[in-house]
Amino acid sequence: MTIHTLIAVLSIVSLPVALILACIPYLTRRTESFGVSIPEKVYHTEPLKLIRKRYVRAILLLTVILIGGFLWAGLMMTANEETLSMVFAAFMLFLIALSFGVYLKFHNEMKRIKKESNWAQDKTQKVVVRTDFHARKLTYSNLWYGIPFAIAILTTLLTALFYDRLPNVLPMKINFAGEVTNAVEKSYRTAFFLPIMQSYLILLFIFINTVIAKSKQQLNAGAPEKSFQQLTLFRRRWSLFLLFTSILLTIMFSLMQWSYFYPTNQHMVPIVSLLCSGIIIIAALVLSFSTGQGGSRIQIEGEEQGESVDREEDIHWKLGQIYFNPNDPALFLEKRFGVGWTINLARPTAWLLLIGIIATAAGIPTLLML
């Protein structure tokens, strides 16, 4: 693959990220706007429609400028694939950082609009809780992860059985031309690096699946039964997506491991990696737009929106995205801006889990490649 082709591919890859960033206001719950709680009935009012449209235009303009800058930098500089990939990563981080700055501007504007409008006046604030919520089947069983585990175990056993057939130098990075750009000497640690990473990722997906099942229930006080059905479907769909992603990544890592035994097929490794990544991104996009945060985009017939509103909790959401509430025993809950889950930073256990995951992810490659 030529540098110009790689530049085009990377530019295309950035489009899903830009699309998600631009459309977040339309994916979040209709009881929240830019990290600020609102009554669902005001979601479709003209002032809020306008603020969402302005946000989308701002993010799209920012994306066009940054992608244009990346294209210019890529065409002007003399670089190999690795350097170009690092430049692209820097541009993407810059895009995410600047988009957060754009979000803060609209978050503050939303706070001002809420204060001036006083929507919650004369409305009953409630917290609706179902005692049978976590007894329901909210996610797919972790036993399904026996499928990727079986693939990982098979990869491990075959690697151990045919260890002597491995080349003395194992490729770690391969460009699109099939050329090895980074390699390490064969050892038991390096030979089993990919199977160990397979196991780590599977355990991580099991943990996330458990988080989805155990996270705080957030039912709409104005339509509790409808929001319960939406929330159940939301969690089930993302649980299935996690299982699908786990199986696909495990297969991808196994194919990469097999390439050690068949060096002539190594040029397929980056192509397979790009293909699997593309499938996962497309699936995540389809799921996000069809489901929305908390199932807000899932159409459920029946219950009409009542007059009650959710209890005001804006004080616990720093900048509208960071949850800090020492009086809430919940460790995990849904994001206010975006699709997915976050942690209660007031709980030490949540910090320990977060640090443990990051330290393990960074530590495994470091220890195995020393």
pLDDT of residue 146: 96
Q: Which residues is 318 bridged to in the sheet?
A: 322
Give the domain extent around 63: 1-117
Give the Å distances, CA to CA, from 63 to 7, 59, 288, 337: 16, 6, 20, 19
Look at residue 1 and tell me if it is in a domain: yes
Look at residue 243 and tell me if it is in a domain: no
pLDDT of residue 265: 62
Look at residue 276 and tell me if it is in a domain: no
pLDDT of residue 306: 62
Look at residue 33 and tell me if it is in a domain: yes
Best CA proximity match to 14, nearest among 103, 100, 95? 95
- Residue type for 117, please? S
Look at residue 257 and tell me if it is in a domain: no
The CA distance from 85 to 91, in Å, is 10
The CA distance from 33 to 206, in Å, is 31
The CA distance from 335 to 320, in Å, is 9
- Residue type for 164, please? D
CB atoms within 10 A of CB 76: 8
pLDDT of residue 69: 81
Look at residue 181 and tell me if it is in a domain: no
How many structural domains is the chain composed of? 1
pLDDT of residue 221: 78
Show pLDDT as tens, one digit a residue, over the chain (370 residues): 555 666 777 777 788 888 888 999 999 998 899 999 988 888 999 999 999 999 999 999 998 888 888 777 777 766 666 677 777 788 888 888 999 999 999 999 999 999 888 876 766 777 778 878 878 888 999 999 999 999 999 999 999 998 888 888 777 666 555 566 667 788 888 888 889 999 999 999 999 999 999 999 888 877 888 888 999 999 999 999 999 999 999 999 998 888 877 765 666 777 788 888 889 989 999 999 999 999 999 988 766 666 667 778 889 999 999 999 999 999 999 999 989 999 999 999 999 998 998 888 888 777 766 5
Tokens for 84?
């170009």
The CA distance from 281 to 19, in Å, is 12
Say if pTM beats, i.e. exceeds, 0.85: yes
pLDDT of residue 348: 93
Look at residue 256 and tell me if it is in a domain: no
pLDDT of residue 17: 83
Best CA proximity match to 73, nearest among 15, 1, 18, 11? 11
The CA distance from 308 to 205, in Å, is 37
Look at residue 57 and tell me if it is in a domain: yes
The CA distance from 239 to 235, in Å, is 6
| Contact present, 215 and 139 (Cβ < 8 Å) | no
Handedness of CA 76, 275, 243, 296 (dihedral sign): positive
Query: In the chain, which ranges are E strands?
Result: 32-33, 36-37, 125-126, 169-174, 180-185, 309-310, 317-318, 322-323, 332-334, 341-343
CB atoms within 10 A of CB 117: 15
Instruction: State the DSSP H helix or E strand holding residue 51, giving kind and residue range, or none if neither.
Output: helix 46-76
CB atoms within 10 A of CB 173: 14
Which pairing describes strands 332-334 and 341-343: parallel, antiparallel, or unpaired? antiparallel
